[in-house]
Amino acid sequence: MRIFALLSVFASIVCLTAATNINVCSDAKTGMFLQDFSDNTCSSYIVCMNGVAFPNNKCNEGFVFNPDSQSCGYASEVGPCDYCPSKNGVPVYNRAYPSLCSKYVLCYGTTPVIRECAPGLQFDPDQERCNEAKLVDCVANKCDAIDDVNNIEYVPSSSNCSRYFICYGGQPHQMDCGAQLNYNPDTQQCDLSENYACPASKTARTRAPYSKQPPQVARNVNCPKSQGVHFMPNPSDSSSYIVCGEGRAYYMTCAYGLVYDAETEECRKAI
């Protein structure tokens, strides 16, 4: 049984999480609850209201925040508090930010660093990096935190005309229409193709093959001496970049067709 123990909201204009100034609520639905990675007890959460982040909210004593249900529950039900679990010795990797599409978490050792994909991109959990939105098809940030049986939320897929999602418990659940049927967002039901033509943007979906490999050590790199995690361009390859931290450096790659932007410190579409 999940226990709801959400407390009052404390005001703050921008949420500073894991030494970044990224507003995690910029594209989240009003009323959404998000994990607060700046608290290592897993009991803190962020409330999103009209694109503004309100942090410093804590579960009642003895409870931890569950990002899947967007509520507080017993630690024994939620699981261990580990934002950046060990991944077969991989020193640095990216993981999804629960309930968000354009934000993600870079794990440098055990340190979580909040990151944001460039405009038009979403975090691809399969490839563990930002990718074109039409290839990722993430709709996690479109579901309300609280269910309304009188107003069920239906979200169309951005990449497949026969697919749609039903929001339940703050999470999208994939549904598929039958053969030769398209999901019609106007009527919120599966329909004949002559009644709802599939846009060309949803038919052109080609995801480049990708093989996950541990990041390679970047040698002879002068990392900044200041504390924290730093990002640098790779002078020999515009489609990759360097992540520095604690005197160690690693190469990370952009998704196919993307290049690293030193100004935004993120991968983006090539101009």
Chain segment 99-135, per-residue pLDDT in tens: 899 999 999 988 999 999 999 999 999 899 999 988 8
Please report whether residue 223 resides in a domain. Answer: no
Q: Are strands 52-58 and 44-49 parallel, antiparallel or unpaired?
A: antiparallel
> How many structural domains does the chain have?
1
- Name the residue range of residue 187's domain: 147-202
Please report whether residue 36 resides in a domain. Answer: no
CA-based nearest residue to 173, from 159, 152, 197, 199: 152
Read off the CATH number of the domain in which 176 is found: 2.170.140.10
Mean residue pLDDT of the chain comes to: 85
Contact 132, 120 (CB under 8 A): yes
Please report whether residue 97 resides in a domain. Answer: no
Q: Is the pLDDT of residue 13 over 60?
A: no
Give the separation between CA 121 and CA 103, rounded to whole angstroms. 10
Give the separation between CA 15 and CA 1, rounded to whole angstroms. 31
Q: Is the pLDDT of residue 2 over 60?
A: no
Please report whether residue 182 resides in a domain. Answer: yes
Please report whether residue 157 resides in a domain. Answer: yes
Q: Is the pLDDT of residue 240 over 60?
A: yes
Tens of pLDDT, residues 44-54: 999 999 999 99
Give the separation between CA 247 and CA 228, rounded to whole angstroms. 10
Residue 208: band (very low, low, confident or very high) from pLDDT cuts 50, 70, 90: low
